[in-house]
């Protein structure tokens, strides 16, 4: 079997993008060149590795096995490059991190500081909903994964690095306006609650807290982003529950106020996870240490 390392990278790009043309752009080759190289990989294995249905590529079972093996080989090679770079006193390499959407309020700033300390590294951040991050985690697509509700059915290295309190928010009173604020969870029964969509980490924590209290909202609105919830609350459509990190330093400037009730905020935490058998690259280890230092500074 004669397959080059570059061909393996091309096949991985095909598996990740689901498109020959996008895989070609990723590897900076022409589409005819990519098609020819992929045919050579298929011929080398002697069986179909993918099929095209409706212009989208779907891997066969053999294709999935090749992608898994190729990813392990590429990861090992990148770890070797980083280790050799460190031995030479350099800090080169690539860091790839997937984070849930709420983490976008603090992860980019942290990544920016990390890049200032390691100016020659390449960084890729995938910002997705929880389902998207879990999917990438299941396929070992990245170095590290940041979320508030890791999947319970996977064997993971799991470190809690920072609190993620979930707070109740209401509209800021306009001049001359008096708002009757809820004084207890019982008062929320008669109010519309605006929550994240089912399956999000925030919603999972909220549902668990409500279940423990035997509380069921009377009126409910579900929205797919923190921004949408904040806009709806500021417009007076109801009360929302979001991560405190989603509010920034000045909720009032967004037309919002944080409301204190017994049992709030709802306790949640930020986790950084990766598959237990995964061997982290030197860069990933350094970034993991930085996350833990961030949590210690916030404690």
3-state secondary structure 98-154: EEEHHHHHCHHHHHHHHHHHCCCEEEEEEEECHHHHHHHHHCCCCCEEEECCCCCCC
Domain assignment present for residue 80? The answer is no
For residues 61 and 100, membership in a common domain is answered with: no
Domain assignment present for residue 175? The answer is yes
According to DSSP, the residues that pair with 95 across neighbouring strands are 123
Domain assignment present for residue 84? The answer is no
CATH code (residue 138): 3.40.190.10
pLDDT given at position 184 = 81
DSSP string, 204-242: HHHHHHHHHHT---SEEEEESSHHHHHHHHHTTS-EEEE
For residues 142 and 3, membership in a common domain is answered with: no
Contact present, 145 and 248 (Cβ < 8 Å): no
pLDDT given at position 93 = 77
According to DSSP, the residues that pair with 52 across neighbouring strands are 57
CATH code (residue 14): 1.10.10.10
For residues 181 and 262, membership in a common domain is answered with: yes
For residues 159 and 178, membership in a common domain is answered with: no
pLDDT given at position 44 = 87
Q: Which of 38, 69, 100 is the last residue of a domain?
A: 69
CB atoms under 10 Å from CB of 70, counted, come to 20
Domain assignment present for residue 85? The answer is no
Q: What is the CA radius of gyration of the chain?
A: 23
For residues 258 and 191, membership in a common domain is answered with: yes
For residues 174 and 254, membership in a common domain is answered with: yes
Task: Give me 239's structure tokens.
Answer: 């009360």
For residues 172 and 237, membership in a common domain is answered with: yes
For residues 141 and 61, membership in a common domain is answered with: no
Task: Give me 35's structure tokens.
Answer: 């098609």
Domain assignment present for residue 44? The answer is yes
Alpha-carbon span 230 to 253, nearest angstrom: 12
For residues 221 and 299, membership in a common domain is answered with: no
For residues 192 and 57, membership in a common domain is answered with: no
Among 181, 188, 177, 170, smallest CA distance to 256 is for 170
Q: What is the pLDDT along the chain (299 residues), one digit of tens a residue?
A: 678 888 888 988 898 888 888 888 888 889 889 889 899 889 888 889 988 887 788 899 998 999 888 888 888 887 777 677 665 555 667 889 999 999 999 998 889 888 888 888 889 899 999 999 999 999 888 999 999 999 999 999 999 999 999 999 999 877 656 667 788 888 888 889 999 999 999 999 999 999 998 988 888 999 999 999 999 999 999 999 999 999 988 898 999 999 988 888 999 999 999 999 888 888 888 899 989 987 777 65
Domain assignment present for residue 78? The answer is no
Alpha-carbon span 170 to 240, nearest angstrom: 7
For residues 227 and 299, membership in a common domain is answered with: no
Domain assignment present for residue 247? The answer is yes
Q: Which domain holds residue 11?
A: 1-69
Number of structural domains in the chain: 3
Alpha-carbon span 142 to 164, nearest angstrom: 23
* HSE-up of residue 34 (Cα within 13 Å, Cβ side): 19
Domain assignment present for residue 86? The answer is no
pLDDT given at position 155 = 94
35 contact partners, CB below 8 Å, separation of at least 6: 20
Whole-model pTM?
0.73
pLDDT given at position 189 = 87
For residues 59 and 100, membership in a common domain is answered with: no
pLDDT given at position 177 = 60
CA dihedral 178, 184, 187, 193 (to 10 degrees): 90
């Amino acid at each position: 079997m004669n397959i080059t390392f570059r061909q393996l990278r091309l096949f991985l790009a095909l598996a990740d993008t689901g498109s020959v043309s996008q895989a070609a752009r990723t590897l900076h080759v022409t589409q005819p060149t990519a098609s020819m190289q992929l045919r050579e990989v298929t011929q080398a294995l002697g069986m179909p590795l993918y099929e095209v249905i409706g212009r989208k590529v779907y891997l066969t079972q053999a294709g999935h096995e090749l992608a898994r093996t190729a990813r392990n080989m590429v990861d090992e090679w990148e770890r070797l490059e980083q280790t050799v770079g460190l031995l030479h006193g350099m800090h080169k390499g690539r860091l790839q991190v997937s984070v849930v959407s709420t983490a976008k309020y603090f992860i980019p700033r942290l990544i920016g500081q990390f890049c200032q300390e390691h100016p020659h590294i390449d960084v890729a951040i995938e910002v997705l909903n929880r389902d998207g991050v879990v999917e990438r985690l299941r396929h070992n697509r990245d170095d590290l994964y940041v979320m508030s509700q890791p999947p319970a059915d996977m064997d993971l290295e799991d470190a809690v690095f920072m609190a993620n309190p979930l707070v109740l928010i209401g509209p800021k009173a306009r001049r001359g306006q008096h708002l009757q604020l809820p004084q207890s969870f019982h008062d929320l029964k008669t109010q519309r609650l605006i929550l994240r969509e089912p399956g999000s980490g925030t919603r999972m924590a909220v549902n668990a807290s409500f279940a423990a209290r035997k509380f069921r909202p009377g009126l409910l609105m579900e929205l797919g982003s923190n921004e949408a919830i904040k806009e709806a609350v500021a417009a007076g459509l109801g009360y929302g529950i979001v991560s405190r990190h989603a509010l920034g330093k000045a909720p009032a400037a967004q037309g919002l106020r944080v409301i204190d009730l017994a049992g709030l905020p709802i306790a949640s935490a930020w986790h950084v996870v990766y598959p237990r058998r995964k061997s982290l690259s030197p860069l990933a280890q350094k970034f993991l240490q930085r996350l833990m230092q961030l949590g210690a500074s916030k404690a």
